[in-house]
Chain A
Amino acid sequence: MANHQSVSGRGAFKKILIANRGAIAARIVRACRELGIKSVVVYTSVDAMAPSVANADEAYPLTGLRPNDSYLDQDQLMSIAELSRADAVHPGYGFLSENVVFAQRVIDAGMHFIGPAPTWLDRMGDKVNARRLMAQQGMPTFAGSDLITDVNSAREAAQRIGFPLVVKPSGGGGGMGMQVVEHMGDLEAALAQAQAVADAAFANGGLYLERWIEKPRHIEYQILADEHGNAMHLYERECSVQRRHQKLIEESPAPGIDAKVLREQAQRGADICARLGYNNLGTMETLYSDGDSGFLEMNTRIQVEHGVTEEVTGIDLVQQQILLSAGADLPAQPSAMKGHAIEVRLYAEDAQTLMPSTGMLRSFDMPKLFGVRVETGYQQGQEVSPYYDALLAKIIATGSTREQAIGRAVVALQAFTIEGVRTNAALLLRVLRSRDFLQGNIDTGMVERMLRQGSRIPAL
């Protein structure tokens, strides 16, 4: 049988520097190994015991601890990339994965940046620009404004959009700095407050307005695009179970939405990417409400929740990033999704108060169960520090039905023994066992409503 993915011309890479940490660093090391590519990891002193440091072919210490002095320090990363003679850099997610300057530096140093061309990081990093471009290309969007220049133009735009609406920062994502406005009278104050957050948190301090959707579902589409103008989709992920705009539980396929509608949207996203010459992996995030759908943003990197798509399609997305970056053709489009996959994110945070919890992992005993995959960057004895995000592990449970996948996720959470930090396991279990979740009656506000109801989260 002909190999679909024989990399033409340039050949695959020999050595990849992984500019990241935690679960995604471990995941990329594994993908490299499977492809016969050498892996180079970087680590800070608190991460020295991470499994990826031992599993990679080479590991280099970083001098600082805080992200700005370590995993975000482009100078250190570039000199390690050059010293190790890597021919490509994989940025993972978060950190420098969507940083145009870093991507360009990698390319200027003669290496491959594993991701789309830097111009795409730029175009999609500006949310107003991304929205406008996707709307022009026929992607449905909810009513919204261009960049707000002054209070008067904001009022005019608000009049047109209607209330409630949301003030959003153009330079950021992840819900930071968002302000919901119910009445025209509150608009000016909300703009000022959002501006303060945008100025502090993002390089680009612009704001825009968008219609506020009550109780929406977060549906996103996985796109793969090659270097030769072709693109395909790998269906959708449902990511509505969130707290503080951060995803907690993701699944594929999305329950309770007409599959035909989802396929059309996914295909539309892929067609747009092909038409515009997008290259490598990308995710189109949308909100869905009562049959209406609106484009939110496009992420130009691997997502935390990529594993659920891998489980239902059988396609290794991290390998695909690497192969596509090296010039490979797209993999064959799977004719259907197989079964159901659910990911729960185990965070080092209190299940009740959501406060972060740090400490040394006195025990970290992962479940080894049929239909359960665990992605983590931790092991027993390792430090969970305040310097980086709170993700301890992703548990990805699969089954032939949604019910079976949920059942396996519950069993896996109960079988996961962690001592040394508090975790959100009890909150995850409460969501997984709630009637609303089991019935697929989910929306982005459900966890916060659950926490507000006040009843204590039962212990495990």
Chain B
Amino acid sequence: MAKQEVESEITGNVWKVLKSTGDSVAEGEVIMILESMKMEIPVEAPSDGTVVSILAELGDQVEEDQVVAVIEI
């Protein structure tokens, strides 16, 4: 089993966290939604897998390319 890091594409705030540790996700499924410049930016699973950690909480500020979740594929 390989671990895959999920990065934020933008600098912004965590607006909603939709998945938690242990959840299985399909490729393209939304793990969390970020908010930046009045836009909602979904963070999607890059492939099918299981969420092993969520690294940003509701309201956190995240930077571009920051790892916000890890999935096991």
Contacts and interface: CB of A to CB of B under 8 A. Distances in A.
Interface stretch (A36-44, A55-63, A384-392, A444-452): A384-392
B9 A390 contact: no
Nearest to B59: A66
Interface stretch (A1-9, A137-145, A282-290, A355-363): A355-363
A353 B10 CA distance: 11
Nearest to A67: B38
Nearest to A384: B37
B6 to A, nearest CB: 15
Question: Taking each of B11, B12, B35, B36, which has the highest tally of chain A beta carbons within 10 Å of its own beta carbon?
Answer: B36
A27 B37 CA distance: 21
Contacts of A353: 9
Interface string B20-61: 000000000000000111110100000000000000000001
A349 B9 CA distance: 12
Nearest to A201: B40
A386 B37 contact: yes
A386 B39 CA distance: 9
A356 B41 CA distance: 9
B54 to A, nearest CB: 20
Contacts of A357: 10
A348 interface: yes
Interface string A373-406: 0000000000000111110000000000000000
A383 B9 CA distance: 19
Contacts of A359: 11
A358 B9 contact: no
A390 B10 CA distance: 13
Question: Taking each of A359, A386, A388, A389, which has the highest tally of chain B beta carbons within 10 Å of its own beta carbon?
Answer: A386
A389 B9 contact: no
A386 B9 contact: no
A40 B39 CA distance: 29
Interface string A6-36: 0000000000000000000000000000000
10 contacts: A349-B37, A356-B12, A358-B36, A359-B11, A386-B11, A386-B37, A386-B61, A387-B37, A389-B38, A390-B38
Interface of A: 244, 348-349, 353, 355-359, 386-390
Interface of B: 9-13, 35-39, 41, 61, 64
Given A348-B37, A390-B39, 10 more contacts: A355-B10, A356-B37, A358-B12, A358-B37, A358-B64, A386-B10, A386-B35, A388-B37, A389-B37, A390-B37
